[in-house]
């Protein structure tokens, strides 16, 4: 408890003093995880909606793969991305390994099945009769889709929160493909691991608290939007 208390004091000091290194790491964390979440939403929401609304051979297999992907170990994703972008990998010529771009790609792969799975559940939880009611009013397929997404907006916001939570707390893939390079790819999770390895427990605790504050702040904003929409 003493270390936690000292870490809390240190976190407050670092933030109020505007420590440039901590602010840089925090901003990079938000940028990488935010972009990865955005990409996962652009992939996961349309794909999840398609799986929820369409019936075709192999659909059940695809849904089961999506559900499996929701629990995919980040270190496995990190290894796959590392092998893809390593010097002798199929995309090694892009020279993306140990860059923020590689971290965004890895985190987007981690978050996409999460967003997709939540989207499938959100769309399928709607009353099946709603489809017929909307179509009976003369709505086009595009209008039907937009109205269904609007009705499922609470679940879709939960998908965004779950995807963001899955990547901002991720460490294995980030270290593997990012390298934890100071000023380039170091984020709050990897910086915390490094501080623990160096025996700087107060700093590690402070960084963890800052990470929790950042994650909670974003989640709180999304929750406010979700609950406001619940009464719309």
Among the four given CATH numbers 2.40.50.140, 1.10.3720.10, 3.40.1350.10, 3.50.50.60, the one describing domain 2-230? 1.10.3720.10
The answer on pLDDT for 156 being more than 70 is: yes
Helix segments in the chain, DSSP class H? 2-16, 20-53, 59-69, 74-85, 100-124, 129-136, 141-151, 153-168, 172-178, 188-197, 201-230
The answer on pLDDT for 49 being more than 60 is: yes
Per-residue confidence (pLDDT) for residue 229, from 0 to 100: 62
Per-residue confidence (pLDDT) for residue 121, from 0 to 100: 93
Half-sphere exposure of 91 (CA within 13 A, CB side): 11
> Mind listing the pLDDT tens digit for each residue in 55-109?
889 999 999 999 999 998 999 999 999 999 999 999 999 999 999 999 999 999 9
Per-residue confidence (pLDDT) for residue 69, from 0 to 100: 93
Per-residue confidence (pLDDT) for residue 159, from 0 to 100: 94
Cβ 185 vs Cβ 178: under 8 Å: yes
Under the banding of pLDDT at 50, 70 and 90, the label for residue 113 is: very high
Per-residue confidence (pLDDT) for residue 142, from 0 to 100: 80
The answer on pLDDT for 228 being more than 60 is: yes
């Amino acid at each position: 408890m003493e270390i936690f208390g000292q870490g809390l004091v240190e976190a407050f000091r670092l933030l109020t003093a505007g420590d440039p290194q901590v602010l840089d790491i925090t901003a990079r964390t938000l940028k990488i995880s935010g972009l990865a979440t955005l990409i996962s939403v652009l992939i996961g929401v349309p794909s999840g909606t398609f799986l929820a609304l369409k019936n075709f051979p192999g659909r059940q297999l695809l849904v089961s793969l999506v559900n499996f992907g929701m629990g995919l170990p980040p270190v496995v994703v990190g290894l796959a991305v590392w092998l893809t972008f390593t010097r002798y990998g199929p995309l090694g010529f892009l020279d993306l390994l140990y860059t923020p771009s590689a971290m965004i790609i890895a985190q987007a792969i981690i978050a996409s099945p999460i967003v997709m799975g939540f989207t499938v559940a959100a769309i399928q939880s709607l009353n099946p009769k709603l489809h017929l009611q909307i179509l009976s009013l003369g709505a086009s397929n595009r209008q039907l889709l937009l109205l269904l997404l609007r009705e499922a907006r609470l679940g879709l916001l939960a998908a965004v929160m779950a995807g963001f939570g899955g990547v901002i707390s991720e460490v294995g893939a980030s270290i593997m493909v990012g390298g934890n390079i100071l000023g380039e790819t170091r984020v709050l999770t990897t910086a915390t691991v490094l501080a623990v390895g160096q025996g700087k427990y107060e700093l590690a605790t402070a960084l963890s608290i800052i990470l929790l504050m950042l994650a909670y702040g974003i989640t709180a904003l999304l929750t406010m939007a979700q609950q406001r929409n619940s009464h719309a």
